[in-house]
């Protein structure tokens, strides 16, 4: 899958928010493909320590663990610097860390708004900036991946900021793909749809699967496999795309199932209005 560089050294992948959910799945798949890993976490250390133990046991390689609050502007540059100092390079950056606060804008606290803008958009931009500066300096034809969302393409209530930042990443990636193509650096987005995040969840049993054409939720491994392929030599002619991994959830024209058994969703069934007299 292209995990050895042209100089014969192991490729290095940095995955932000690698301790849980989709990030954990991405890390496991990339380790399986042979990448050396750097993983960031913010406040919850237990999950990332458990993941590191699994990776060390299964693949015999200790991932680099970096504690980083990416809402702080300087942490992006520090994270790239630590990765390069410890592992020697960055071949793949997966901008996965993010936060969604689903509230109407009129109810959303300004601190929450700032947190989402800084974590969901500014941090990926800055991480990519410093990663690519190092790639160019070392002559690394690397890959930048932004984890976006089906919410970046389809609007939902109480999603103006999170969905808006994901849409912004999709658009920004297109410009960055053009800027960095002369250096052999590819930039793409991977957009999960409804995906299990908690260990106790089953993709086959979650009620929302009834609303998805392929009949289940996505898994973290689905996202990891997509990234492994998209950043491999097999996809070397692909840049500037948003690859949707959603089981067909937001195919154009697909009706929204508002029945209770179909699980949550934006669809709202209004009570019938009383017939008005003439």
User: CA separation (Å) from 231 to 29, 36, 146, 183, 254?
Assistant: 12, 15, 12, 15, 30
Q: How many residues does the chain have?
A: 278
Residue with tokens 């015999």: 60
Q: Quick check: 55 and 63 in contact, CB under 8 A?
A: yes
Q: Quick check: 124 and 176 in contact, CB under 8 A?
A: no
Active-site residue set: 162
State the DSSP H helix or E strand holding residue 245, giving kind and residue range, or none if neither.
Answer: strand 242-245
Q: In what order do the strands lie in the sheet with 36-41?
A: 64-67, 36-41, 12-15, 92-95, 143-147, 186-192, 242-245
User: CA separation (Å) from 66 to 23, 49, 56, 106, 260?
Assistant: 14, 11, 16, 36, 42
Bridge partners of 244, per DSSP, are: 191
Q: How far apart are CA 197 and CA 24, in angstroms?
A: 9
């Amino acid at each position: 899958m292209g995990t050895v560089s042209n100089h014969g050294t192991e490729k290095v992948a940095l995955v932000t928010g690698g301790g849980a959910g989709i990030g954990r799945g991405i890390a496991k798949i990339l380790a399986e493909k042979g990448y050396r890993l750097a993983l960031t976490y913010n406040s919850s250390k237990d999950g990332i320590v458990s993941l590191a133990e699994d990776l060390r046991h299964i693949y015999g390689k200790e991932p680099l663990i970096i504690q980083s609050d990416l809402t702080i502007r300087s942490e992006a540059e520090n994270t790239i610097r630590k990765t390069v100092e410890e592992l020697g390079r960055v071949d793949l950056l997966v901008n996965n860390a993010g936060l969604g606060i689903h509230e109407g804008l009129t109810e959303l606290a300004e601190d929450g708004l700032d947190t989402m803008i800084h974590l969901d958009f500014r941090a990926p931009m800055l991480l990519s900036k410093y990663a690519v500066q190092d790639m160019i300096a070392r002559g690394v034809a690397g890959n930048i991946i932004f984890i976006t969302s089906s919410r970046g393409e389809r609007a939902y209530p109480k999603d103006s900021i999170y969905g808006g930042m994901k849409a912004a990443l999709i658009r920004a990636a297109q410009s960055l793909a053009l800027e960095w193509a002369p250096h052999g650096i590819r930039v793409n987005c991977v957009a999960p749809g409804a995906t299990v995040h908690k260990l106790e969840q089953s993709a086959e049993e979650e009620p929302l699967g009834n609303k998805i054409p392929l009949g289940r939720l996505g898994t973290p491994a689905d996202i990891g496999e997509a990234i492994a392929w998209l950043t491999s030599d097999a996809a070397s002619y692909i840049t500037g795309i948003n690859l949707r991994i959603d089981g067909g959830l937001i195919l154009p024209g697909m009706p929204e199932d508002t029945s209770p058994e179909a699980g949550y969703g934006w669809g709202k069934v209004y009570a019938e209005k009383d017939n008005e007299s003439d």
